[in-house]
Chain A
């Protein structure tokens, strides 16, 4: 089938002789890549091994003793870092590639065991006493340093998570929504602050050209956390008129992210802004109409939902047309 197409294109003059010869030999020379299969196996192996060892140690802690376990974890961590320091390529403010495939995994293992080590130390011996801030602050700094120094996006995510932990919030969108921890004003304000810090990091990353490819991670978490926290704030104060004040920063932020994403041609953030904005708008319309008309509003309300969604579809199609020339995902 494919060869027939090549033959036809060749005879119609679209393909030169050289290209045609290469293409018609393609099925003979093409290699079958097992890259992703092997990488998955590596990842699975690391997970199984660390899980299995964890349980093994947990069950035999009486015979092994805490010091031995700690020493073992420290040894793994130090070993990994020595390897990484030896093998790493020269540091740069741009994107630096990993020297080999194993490097990222070894660095990851080293970082995880470092965090485990500090956690274990605190849990067993209370090294930091009751000063929990310090116990989370130090691993966080270390993780940020490792992420920047070795240029590792996965560890950057871990660092962001520990920043959240240090500030007293947890960060994955999954946990954000699943545990529904929006019951106190203090938490909401912390979330907003955390999200804004991330967005500022994203901005600075871009502005001063420091590891530009890290911007996505900052922006990704920042956008989700801030939007969700602002909406939570809106609902927390729903019965007072202060709730509307929460919507102002919400739409200001939406406008900023939208403009930024448009400039960067990032459909992902455009889409996020549109969906979050649509949700907020729907909440406002519902509230407004209900206040005016009570239960008779339902027809108008549904019509409004439909009209606004159709409007957004046209907007999305339009943006797509304007940005088409160089579309990323």
Chain B
């Protein structure tokens, strides 16, 4: 199914694995070089910046070329059939297959651009067919199913995370639209069905990911798991359920009560804590970070309904609590305890070398009032700033 040479994928996995061991000093340089030469990876995999450049340029070419073809084809006859985008999609896809097979491109920017572009053309074409057919019920479901099938195929063939993410979202949409066809009962039980679907997806993919044979899809599986975690939370989030309930029953947003509301409040508050708990227990970064983000979402949800404190006092208190908490944990983890450490992670990843923190500081401080806003005599506003970055680009 997968288009890439399996042997190379395996070698890539081995080399990547041993590379982290080499950087952390667990193996010697000679050993690493020996392993690297014994496990050749023939893919074309340029660095991040080159990939970005190739992606942008390929996308420009694809857009300009399709407009040129469309212009030539429809100069006399009016545009008008969904088979045209599908035809263009086929050309694009054929080129993609040729480049990945013949030139061994592996997520190099060019193939990513072609993949998304052809997927967009196919998807657009199929949706066009469905809209043209004027089906009254179930057209959403049909559309979601088509997108899901398309993206599942592309993900399996090219092991791409974006198509995997779209496929996952489309499948959840399928479940939603399918269940929504059961009218009143369907709508009333919707959150629970979505929760079950998301939980099943998470655990299913979690188990599947442990299988050694699917390591080609490790990134795709991680993406699907992340989306399932988020869906699992959103399905029971009070705000989401409330708004969806209002929308489906055509009520306005002043209605804040929902049947069995307490269940959803418990879900909203407890689930992030559960994520963090399991993240720490299993030493799972994804669960931990998702949980941390969702705590913030929960706070925002809570504030949308109850105003216990004025916002500034809440901000100040939260800031103090977080600072004190983080500081205490940092002090506590000076020496590693229970398998946790405050030391920087061993695997150097690209995000660190981009120095995102510097960029964030620049952006965040860019709206500081550097001095009194001058009247018209000076033309600049009171803003500016930006990010520092490390020198190793």
Interface residues of A (CB under 8 A from B): 1-2, 4-5, 9, 14-16, 19, 22-23, 26, 30-53, 55-56, 59, 101, 108, 112, 115-116, 118-119, 122-123, 126, 132, 135-136, 139, 152-158, 160-162, 164-165, 167-175, 179, 181, 184, 186-187, 190, 212-217, 220-221, 266-271, 274-275, 278, 298-299, 302-303, 305-306, 309-310, 312-313, 316-317, 319-320, 327-329
In Å, the complex CA distance between A310 and B64 comes to 12
- A52 close to B346 (CB less than 8 A): no
Find B368's partner among A46, A52, A112 (CB 8 Å cutoff): A112
A-chain residues with CB within 8 Å of residue B127 when the two chains form the complex: none
Residue among B339, B379, B380 with the highest chain A CB neighbour number at 10 A: B380
B48 proximity list for chain A (CB < 8 A): 267, 329
Given contacts A9-B35, A299-B68, A309-B57, contact A170 B316 (CB under 8 A): no
Q: Which of B292, B370, B391 has the most CB of A within 10 A?
A: B370
Contacts A38-B342, A115-B368, A167-B380 aside, 16 further interface pairs with beta carbons under 8 A come to: A4-B212, A26-B21, A31-B341, A31-B343, A32-B283, A34-B333, A34-B340, A34-B342, A45-B319, A56-B312, A108-B361, A122-B372, A126-B372, A157-B358, A213-B391, A306-B68
Shortest Cβ distance from residue A3 to the other chain B in the assembled complex, whole angstroms = 11
The chain A residue sitting closest to B212, CB to CB, is: A1
A162–B370 CB distance below 8 A: yes
A sample of 29 inter-chain contacts (CB < 8 A) reads A1-B212, A5-B17, A9-B14, A15-B35, A23-B21, A26-B21, A34-B341, A35-B342, A36-B345, A41-B322, A42-B326, A47-B319, A48-B316, A49-B323, A119-B368, A119-B369, A162-B370, A164-B380, A165-B370, A165-B384, A169-B384, A170-B383, A171-B385, A216-B389, A216-B391, A217-B388, A274-B53, A302-B71, A317-B50
Q: A5-B17, A164-B384, A174-B363 are in contact. Are A135 and B372 (CB under 8 A)?
A: yes
Determine the residue in chain A with the shortest Cβ distance to B13. A5
**Assuming A157-B361, A184-B379, is B68 touching A172 (CB within 8 A)?**
no
B316 touches A53 (CB 8 A): yes
Counting CB contacts under 8 A, is B193 at the interface?
A: no
Residues of B within 8 A of A305 (CB): 60-61, 64
Contact string, B323-351, partner A, CB cutoff 8 A, digits 1/0?
10111011001001001111111100010
Contact A220 B389, beta carbon cutoff 8 Å: yes
Q: Secondary structure of the A side of the interface?
A: helix
Give the one of A2, A165, A174 with max B CB within 10 A. A165
Please judge, given known A-B contacts A16-B31, A53-B316, A179-B381, whether A268 and B393 are in contact too, CB under 8 Å: yes
Q: Is the C-beta of B392 less than 8 angstroms from some C-beta in chain A?
A: yes
**Complexed CA–CA distance, A168 and B371 (Å):** 12
The answer to whether B362 and A170 have CB atoms under 8 Å apart is no
Interface size class of B (residues with CB under 8 A): 35 or more
Chain B window 357-383, contacts with chain A (Cβ cutoff 8 Å), 1 for yes, 0 for no:
110111111101111101001111111
How many angstroms from the CA of A153 to the CA of B392 in the assembled complex?
13
**B residues neighboring A (CB under 8 Å):** 13-14, 17-18, 21, 26-28, 31, 34-35, 38, 46-50, 52-54, 56-58, 60-61, 64-65, 67-68, 71-72, 110, 212, 215, 283, 288-289, 292, 311-320, 322-323, 325-327, 329-330, 333, 336, 339-346, 350, 353-355, 357-358, 360-366, 368-372, 374, 377-393
Contact pick for A302, options B68, B317, B365, B377, CB 8 Å: B68
A32 touches B340 (CB 8 A): yes
Taking CB atoms, residues of chain A closer than 8 Å to B353 are 329
Contact present for B372 and A119 (CB under 8 Å): yes
What chain B residues lie within 8 Å of A50 (beta carbons)?
319
For residue B372, which residues in chain A have a CB less than 8 angstroms away from its CB?
119, 122-123, 126, 132, 135
CB-based contact A162/B384 at 8 Å: yes
- Alpha-carbon distance between A52 and B319 when the two chains are bound, in angstroms: 8
Known: A5-B14, A161-B384, A328-B393. A38 touches B330 (CB 8 A): yes
A302 to B70 CA separation, bound complex (whole angstroms): 12
Bound complex: CA of A248 vs CA of B341, how far in Å?
55
Query: Are B53 and A329 in contact, with the CB atoms below 8 A?
Result: no
Known: A31-B341, A153-B355. A267 touches B49 (CB 8 A): yes
- Roughly how many angstroms separate A39 CA and B326 CA in the complex, as a whole number? 8
Complexed CA–CA distance, A173 and B353 (Å): 21
Which of B38, B313, B343 is the one whose CB lies under 8 Å from A52?
A: B313
Q: How far is the CA of A53 from the CA of B320 in the complex (A)?
A: 11
Determine the distance from Cα of A42 to Cα of B325 in the docked complex, in whole angstroms.
9
User: Which of B17, B333, B378, B386 touches A132 (beta carbons < 8 Å)?
Assistant: B378
* Contact, CB under 8 Å: A14 / B342: no
Q: Which of A126, A139, A215 touches B370 (beta carbons < 8 Å)?
A: A139
- The reply to whether A312 and B57 contact each other, CB–CB distance below 8 Å, is yes
How many angstroms between the C-alpha atoms of A328 and B384 in the bound complex?
Answer: 29
Contact of B28 among A16, A101, A164, A217 (CB under 8 A): A16
Do residues B385 and A161 form an inter-chain contact, with CB atoms below 8 A? yes
Residue in chain A with minimal CB distance to B288: A37
Select one of A59, A153, A168 contacting B358, CB under 8 A: A153
Contacts A153-B358, A212-B391 given; indicate if A14 touches B34 (C-beta within 8 A): yes
Please state if A14 and B344 are interface contacts (CB–CB under 8 Å): no
Cβ–Cβ < 8 Å partners of B320 in chain A: 45, 49
- Chain A's nearest CB lies how many Å from the CB of B230? 18
A residues within 8 A CB of B370?
A: 115, 119, 136, 139, 161-162, 165
A304 to chain B, nearest CB (A): 9
- B369 contact set on A, CB distance < 8 A: 116, 119, 123
A36 and B347 CA atoms in complex are apart in Å by: 13
Determine whether the beta carbon of B388 is less than 8 Å from that of A154: yes
Q: Are B385 and A158 in contact (CB under 8 A)?
A: yes
B379 and A187 within 8 A (CB):
yes
Q: How close is B49's CB to chain A, nearest CB, in angstroms?
A: 4
From B110, B283, B311, B323, residue with most partner A Cβ within 10 Å: B323
Whether B323 and A15, one on each chain, are in contact in the complex, defined by CB atoms closer than 8 angstroms, is no
Neighbouring A residues of B368 by C-beta, 8 Å: 112, 115-116, 119
| Chain A residue at minimal CB-CB distance from B60 | A309
- A266: chain B residues within 8 A (beta carbon): 393
Query: Out of A42, A271, A310, which one reaches B49, CB within 8 Å?
Result: A271
A154-B358 CB under 8 A given contacts A170-B383, A316-B50:
yes
Q: Would you give the shortest CB distance from B343 to chain A, in whole angstroms?
A: 6
A181 to chain B, nearest CB (A): 8
Contact between chains at A306 and B343 (CB < 8 Å): no
